[in-house]
Amino acid sequence: MPKIKVLSGGGFPEREVNSQTVGSLRDELDMAGGSTVAVNGTGVTDDYQLQDGDIVAAVTSNKTGGLEVINFKISK
């Protein structure tokens, strides 16, 4: 199971996840539908296989046009 670092409250607490793909990570972390996911700065599809050391960011636009950014770092 990969360990990820999640930007939360100004820090990066580490947590272990069961997900192996971006699609399953979306479900596991309850990411909003329609969010855009980038790994290592490149947009990816839900079938992207997560690897140790990947840095994952999810961005969701809300109905007022604001953005919610979620950063993840996969580490060993």
**Contact present, 39 and 56 (Cβ < 8 Å):** yes
Cα separation, 44 vs 39, whole angstroms: 7
Domain ranges for the chain, please list them: 3-75
pLDDT tens digit sequence for 48-76: 998 877 777 777 765 555 555 666 666 65
- Report pLDDT for 58: 76
Which residues have CB under 8 Å from 14's CB, separation 6+? 3, 4, 5, 6, 75
Instruction: Assess whether pLDDT exceeds 70 at residue 45.
Output: yes
Give the model's pLDDT for residue 38. 80
Options 3.40.50, 1.10.10, 3.10.20, 1.10.4160; which CATH number does 3-75 get?
A: 3.10.20
Whether pLDDT at 39 is above 70:
yes
Q: What is the pLDDT of residues 9-30, one digit of tens each?
A: 555 567 778 899 989 988 988 8
